[in-house]
Structure formats: structure tokens, C-alpha cells
A = this chain, B = another copy of it.
Amino acid sequence: MRVGIMGYGNLGKGIECAIKQNKDMELVAVFSRREPSTVKILTEGVKVYSVDDAIKMKDEIDVLILCGGSATDLPTQTPEYAKYFTVIDSFDTHARIPEHFANVDATAKENGNVAIISCGWDPGMFSLNRLYASCILPSGADYTFWGKGVSQGHSDAIRRIDGVANAKQYTVPVDAALEKVRNGENPELTTREKHTRECYVVAKEGADKDRIAEEIKTMPNYFADYDTTVNFITEEELQRDHSGIPHGGFVIRSGKTGWNEENSHIIEYSLKLDSNPEFTASVIVAYARAAYRMKQEGMTGCKTVFDIAPAYLSPCSAEELRAHML
């Protein structure tokens, strides 16, 4: 299975690493908007091309993995490349998924290709677990907690404040809330009760730290609804202690069964990730295999994790899976 990567940021690099771990896959090209000669990749013998050369290579690539951003790249890229390739993306603007699905589905169907959208862990594995658990326990409640992990958007928001040189923000689930959910108490939780926000900020020389902390804590949408702590540290400390991109979280369904709903059950799915982009890439690569196989079977159109039978993700045959994994 010959794979192309469109966009070589953190996610693209994660895809490259994941391909190395899957023996049935081969990286054949990386496409970048940057001048190709300036982009250094890890895989020996594989070339970097300009995005403008991608379509010319459509017969040399079985699946093209789109690693752009959800705000401006993917809404145009995925429907466009689904005309020429079997594609997969990690579109994660939840509210715009129906629109994105419709656009991608149209061009994928018209051109006889398979396209998978919104693949990763949320949307992705967390969505899957919400779906399975809610179907199994229809009388119950769902809880999703994120973290402890780095939120790129919140870190960026802090960096835009006057006097801030650098910053990293962690979203942290509140243990007491998690415990209530795990105990089957089915609590109603406010935003503030579910997560706290921890900020590590490098201030520019002479900047007013009190004013910066106040601006962070009162920032609408991003921080005002949370208990937020602000820690000022040096750039060296930031690089030494906060250079990773960890993340994770919990999807918990608490539900009742029995003639009078007298029995309680807890289904919990959790992730603890050293590298958010590498894990996301690993999910995408498994689903890229599914896309390739579905295309080979003659399917077309846009799919999500909900539409894909789990066996498609595995390099093993159905017989092997039944014998060894069921």
C-alpha cells in the first residue's frame, strides 16, 4: 500500500513514523507548500514534492493522507483531492462535520473514490466509544474528559497577549468529578467542575505579570469559565519541562439495566498519550488501510469511523482475527 502525505507538520511527521511501524505500507511522497528543497524528512529515499505536483502522481499513490488544519486547509483540500485519490483527514471542527461530509461525499462518489474524514481520537476513537457505549446502555449518561494535555489553541491565545514571550497551556480533568462519574452518581457537571486550566507563561522583560495573569484568567471562551492557574517560568524552564505534546482523556458511560433499572454499569475508555500528534497519526494510518481495502472492494464515497467495520483496520485476515483475537 503506497501512501502519500500532504503537509509535513507535527501530524505529517507522525504519519511518517507510523508508516514505518506498518510493514504493509510504504511512504512514496511528501507534499509541502514550502519549497521542497527546504523540507527535510526522516525516511531515506523518499522525495518531497510541491503540492502542485500531487495530482500528477495520482497513479503512484494508493492513499493520500491530508495533514492540514481544519480551519482553512481541509474544507477545500479534502473534497478537491477526493477527486483524484483515496483520501483521509482528521477534520475536527465538530460543528461543521455534516457540511464537510457532504462536500467530500459528493466528489468522492462522483470520482469513484473512498474518503475518510474526522479520523483521530476526538473525533475518532472517543466518538466510537461514545457510540458503542450509548448503544449498549441506552439508559445512561455520557461523560468526556480531556487531559491532562496540551491545548494548542489555548497556548496560542496566551501567546497573543501583550508582554507574553511564550506559553503552554494544559487542560486537566478534575479528579473529584471523574470519581463521581465512576461511582455511577450521574452528576450534572458545569464546565468549571470538569476541567481546570494550567498555564506556564514566559513573560517578556519588564512586562506586568499581574496584568498578564488577569488577562488570561478573564479571557472569554478560553479561560473565564474555568479555574485557571498561571505560573510564570523562564524560557529555559519551558523548553526543559514543557516541550512535549502529551494529551489524553476519558470517555465514560454510566448506565442502568434490569427490569426496574436496579443494576449499574460503568464503561470507561481512556487514553494516556506522550504525543498527541503521533497517536492521532497512528489512528489515521490504521484507517488509511481500511480506506485502501474499501476502495479495492469497490466502495465509494465519504466514510467516518462509524461506518467502518473494525476488521478493515487490521493487516490480519478475518480468519486470523477470529482465531486469535475474538
Taking A132-B313, A268-B272, A306-B318 as known contacts, 13 extra A-B pairs with beta carbons closer than 8 A to each other, sorted by chain A number, are A21-B257, A42-B259, A94-B326, A128-B132, A134-B325, A135-B286, A136-B279, A257-B282, A263-B278, A265-B279, A266-B271, A269-B269, A305-B326
Asked if A205 is at the interface (CB within 8 A of a chain B CB), the reply is no
Q: With A14-B257, A310-B306 in contact, is A132–B125 under 8 Å at CB?
A: yes
Contacts of A136 in B (CB 8 A): 125, 279, 282-283, 286, 313
Query: Total interface residues on A, using CB and 8 Å?
Result: 69
Identify which of residues 277-326 in chain A touch chain B, using a CB-to-CB cut-off of 8 Å: 278-279, 281-283, 286, 289, 304-311, 313-315, 318-319, 321-323, 325-326
Q: Please, what's the 1-or-0 string for A244-283, where 1 marks a CB less than 8 Å from any CB in chain B?
A: 0000000000000111000111111111111100110111
B286 touches A17 (CB 8 A): no
**Complex alpha-carbon distance, A14 and B182, angstroms:** 23
Asked if A127 is at the interface (CB within 8 A of a chain B CB), the reply is yes
Contacts of A125 in B (CB 8 A): 132, 136, 267
Asked if A20 is at the interface (CB within 8 A of a chain B CB), the reply is yes
Grouping DSSP codes into helix (H, G, I), strand (E, B) and loop, the A interface class, with mixed when no group exceeds half, is: helix
Nearest-CB residue, chain B, relative to A262? B274
Which of A's residues lie within 8 Å of B, judged by CB?
A: 14, 16-18, 20-22, 42, 94, 97-98, 101, 118, 123, 125, 127-132, 134-139, 182, 257-259, 263-275, 278-279, 281-283, 286, 289, 304-311, 313-315, 318-319, 321-323, 325-326
